[in-house]
Amino acid sequence: MLIYENTLWLLLAALLLDAVVGDPAWAWERLPHPVVWIGKVISVFDRHFNKTNQSPVFRKLGGVLTLVALVAGGMFFGALVQAVADSLPLGDLITVIVAAIFIAQNSLYRHVAAVRDGLQNDGLEGGRKAVSMIVGRDPKQLDEAGVSRAAIESCAENFSDGVVAPVFWFALLGLPGLIAYKAVNTADSMIGHKNEVYVDFGWAAARFDDLVNLPASRLAGLFIAFSAPLVRGSVRESLACIRQDAKKHRSPNAGWPEAAMAGALGISLAGPRVYPGYTVNDRYLNSTGRRDASAEDISRALRILLGAYGWQASLVIMLALLSV
């Protein structure tokens, strides 16, 4: 049950606000983004519970404590903001603005489009520079096809955890759920790595992030698949790619939207990838598809992304009408 009767209508307003305004640079040049504050809290726990002289068991327990503190703190802060908003005449507007801050429709589109524009305007070096802002792999190892595939993969995966998941948890639990989710997702991006430094301390954050992103990743895959006709792709082929290849991805969630995008565009995604200091030898999603992706394929992925935004908004509207 939704904790606020008008949650879905506020969510729709937040989606519209983010689509039109996004994250205005002038605001975050003057004030730190809330995610920055979440990151600072995570860094404090990291310094105290993830020291090299501590045992693996202590680090893992410290990671569990960090996760519990982040979830509890996120829920408490969200409930506090919601309570303040509910007590004010324009409280709904405050709720909409806060929700929009944590939804990344506008910024995701702009960051992916910047890779396309970099390739088209400044060649390979321009594309490498732009893609380095959204992926962790070594840009120097990427040719034009590699840059394009990296941007498309980021587009699909971040649609799930940067857009659909925040929307899902806001719809289910309001601002407390949204802010708690964002805290967990930020922790996963900062400490949820399987390297020597974070394999123990980041274990809880990584596993819990997998859990809370599970429903959103499935929805994201469906939204992408249903948008395939926008680029003359096949919904059936996109769904078939999800069914056959999503499980090949090392992530239990990222495989869904990435496989859907691969099938919709008719290209291969994932596969071997080079990161600073190590290589990931994953299998390809849609292995029979093209691998010579280009800036035009990024444009096609962006059209699918806009279609997926539309499907998500349509679902929110339908649920809001049903809840009246």
pLDDT along the chain (324 residues), means of 10: 70 96 78 90 95 93 97 97 92 95 95 97 95 87 93 96 97 96 96 89 96 97 98 96 95 95 96 76 91 96 98 96 85
Q: Which among 190, 188, 194, 189 has a CA at the least distance from the CA of 206?
A: 188
Q: Is the dihedral of CA 76, 81, 85, 88 positive or negative?
A: positive
pLDDT value for 5? 60
pLDDT value for 69? 97
Report the alpha-carbon distance of residue 275 to residue 221 in Å, rounded: 26
pLDDT value for 1? 36
Q: Is the dihedral of CA 34, 68, 79, 108 positive or negative?
A: positive
Provide the terminal-to-terminal Cα distance of the chain, rounded to the nearest Å: 13
E strand intervals along the chain: 269-275, 278-285
> In residues, how long is the chain?
324
Quote the tokens at residue 275: 């990161």
CB contact at 8 A, 272 and 281: yes
Report the alpha-carbon distance of residue 121 to residue 130 in Å, rounded: 12
Within 10 angstroms of residue 215's Cβ, the number of other Cβ atoms is: 15
The number of angstroms, rounded, from the C-alpha of 5 to the middle of its chain's C-alpha atoms is 27
pLDDT value for 144? 94
Kindly report the pTM of this predicted structure: 0.93
What residue has token string 């955890």? 161
Give the count of alpha carbons within 13 A of 134, CB side only: 29
Report the alpha-carbon distance of residue 140 to residue 127 in Å, rounded: 11
The number of angstroms, rounded, from the C-alpha of 65 to the middle of its chain's C-alpha atoms is 24
The number of angstroms, rounded, from the C-alpha of 321 to the middle of its chain's C-alpha atoms is 27
Within 10 angstroms of residue 256's Cβ, the number of other Cβ atoms is: 29
Helix (H) or strand (E) holding 46: helix 34-49
